[in-house]
Amino acid sequence: MSQSSAIQLENVSKIFGRRRKRVEAVRQLSLDVSAGQVFGFLGPNGAGKSTTIRMMMDLIRPSAGSVLLFGQPVQNNLPLLRRVGALVEGATFYDFLTGRKNLEVLARSGGCYDEARIQTLLEQVGMAGRADRRVQGYSTGMKQRLGLAAALLNDPDLVILDEPTNGLDPAGIQDVRHFIRNLAEKQGKTVFLSSHLLSEVEQVCDQVGIISNGRLVQTGNVAELLSSQAVIRLEVMPADRALGLLLPKWPTKENGRWLEVQAPREAGPEIVQQLVAAEVQIFQMVVQQQSLEDLFLAATADSPGEDSENA
């Protein structure tokens, strides 16, 4: 896997409106996404996700800062943008055409028509058997699958996916998850994935960035972020002595017959040694690693609700 940067955002801000109607949708956001990985971009409604994606695709211009893809500025750089494929804000097609014909129109207009590739993509997204039906008869999930194929027509190096599993059933979500991992692991593509399905992001992404109120509040390797904080539950006696020993170093509270210690999983042996040395009896110890949902809720606790700009 290449460690060169596929996406670099440097102190990017975006302001809409003026004076009383002024909205700062993105605030000094800096982000570096290495090539060849799946990067999850998370945030509540109105946090700035869609605005950030639009700036990455040069659909809108940042008010400040710079956006680079593969080390090149994105603004007015059509050859660079041809290295990008995207499924953003839902898949839209001509209803009166078949799925296959829609892909052919898109491929010809984009200068990347290849009949064999269209067939291959239809097979990969599970639409080969329904490709010759008119899109007006497609379900939302079928349109999303066709949208994935459309995003890959030009064999892009960077694939931007905004809620790619909308409308899919659990089996379809699993198919898309494997498909996305395959893009990175077997085809060497970089995938920038925006999704509200945190359990899916947790399973498919190498790195995540969490945006709240226009600012990047957390970023890093998924496994490392989730292991950085856990809840260590202890059944001990006497509980008051254990509480007094642990509180100076780790946030600890009583919950029924358990003590709950906020600490990394790696702190478990040290906690046990400290309690044993103080002659505290330990009956049970259970380590509960936080989920991506726990991390997300903690990082965005002060985020506002959805606004009219729906950034």
**Is residue 72 scored above 80 in pLDDT?**
yes
The DSSP letter of residue 134 is B
Per cent of the chain over pLDDT 70 is: 94
**Is residue 293 scored above 80 in pLDDT?**
no
Residues 201, 42 contacting (CB under 8 angstroms): yes
Domain ranges of the chain: 5-83+156-225, 230-289
What's the one-letter identity of residue 95? D
Segment 53-61 mean pLDDT: 94
What's the one-letter identity of residue 246? L
Instruction: Please give the pLDDT value at position 308.
Output: 37
Q: How far apart are CA 126 and CA 133, in angstroms?
A: 14
Instruction: Please give the pLDDT value at position 143.
Output: 93
Pick from 135-144, 219-228, 289-298 the range whose average pLDDT is largest: 135-144
Topology at the third CATH level for domain 230-289: Alpha-Beta Plaits (3.30.70)
Instruction: Please give the pLDDT value at position 170.
Output: 87
Distance set, CA 173 to CA 153, 164, 291 (Å): 21, 9, 19
Check residues 52 and 263 and name the one with the higher pLDDT: 52
Check residues 292 and 46 and name the one with the higher pLDDT: 46
Residues 99, 93 contacting (CB under 8 angstroms): yes
Segment 76-97 mean pLDDT: 91
Question: Where does the chain have alpha helices with state H?
Answer: 49-56, 78-81, 99-109, 115-124, 140-151, 170-185, 198-204, 222-227, 239-246, 268-277, 292-299
**pLDDT tens, residue by residue, 194-238:** 987 787 788 899 999 999 889 998 888 887 777 666 788 999 999
The per-residue pLDDT of the chain, averaged, comes to 89
Instruction: Please give the pLDDT value at position 306.
Output: 41
Segment 174-194 mean pLDDT: 93
Instruction: Please give the pLDDT value at position 305.
Output: 44
Task: State how far Cα 12 lies from the chain centre.
Answer: 19
Residues 235, 227 contacting (CB under 8 angstroms): no
Give the class (CATH, top level) of 5-83+156-225.
alpha beta
Q: What is the pTM of this model?
A: 0.79
Q: What's the sign of the alpha-carbon dihedral 26, 86, 297, 182?
A: negative
Q: Cis (ω within 30 of 0) for the bond into 164?
A: no
Domains 5-83+156-225 and 230-289 share a fold: no
Burial of 134: CB neighbours in 10 Å, binned 0-12, 13-18, 19+: middle
